[in-house]
Amino acid sequence: MSIRRVIACLILGGLACAQTQQPASLRGALVQSASKPPAIRIAEGRLVSLSADDPVAAVLNDKRLAGLDVEVTGRFTAPDRFQVDPIHTRPVFVHKNGKRLYVTYWCDLCAIRTYTPGKCQCCQEETEIDLRETEK
């Protein structure tokens, strides 16, 4: 393989990499649908469909987040598809009043914080959504 060809491969490989592999974040209005995966309507009006693990999908389908200015971290797998990072990386944020807030869930009774919606693991009461500037 010639040097020129090696360089061309590196450049092309790098471009392909930038499109699909590089960590990215996606921000826009969160669009929920009963029949389709959640999506984000980005600034230019295009819908980008979100794939996520179950706990993250539960957050993205939380009705309390519908239509909000949401940011997710992950990577593009196609121009209109975005794979959201796993829940332990805290990949979902809400932008509100100029702040980037973590999405957390809080049980007031037990003072337990979780990162997916649903019942408190302790008292089985429904947790409240709690948008916070810090993760904990």
Q: Which residues bind Zn ion (CB under 5 A)?
A: 107, 109-110, 120, 122-123
Nearer to Zn ion, 17 or 123 (CB): 123
Q: CB 30 → Zn ion: shortest distance, Å?
A: 27
* Spatial separation of the C-alpha atoms in residues 68 and 66, rounded to whole Å: 6
Which residue, 39 or 120, has its beta carbon nearer to Zn ion? 120
Q: How far is the CB of 29 from Zn ion (least distance, A)?
A: 32
Helix (H, G, I), strand (E, B) or coil at 93: strand
For the CB of residue 104, give the shortest distance to Zn ion in the complex, in Å. 14
Q: What's the min distance (Å) between Cβ of 117 and Zn ion?
A: 14
Show Cβ contacts of residue 77 under 8 Å, excluding neighbours closer than 6 positions.
Answer: 20, 51, 83
As beta bridge partners, residue 52 has none
Of the two residues 21 and 121, which places its CB atom closer to Zn ion in the complex? Answer: 121
- The two structure tokens encoding residue 50: 């979100």
Helix (H) or strand (E) holding 16: helix 3-20
Going by C-alpha positions, the residue among 51, 27, 52, 60 that lies closest to residue 41 is 27
48 vs 107, beta carbon nearer Zn ion: 107
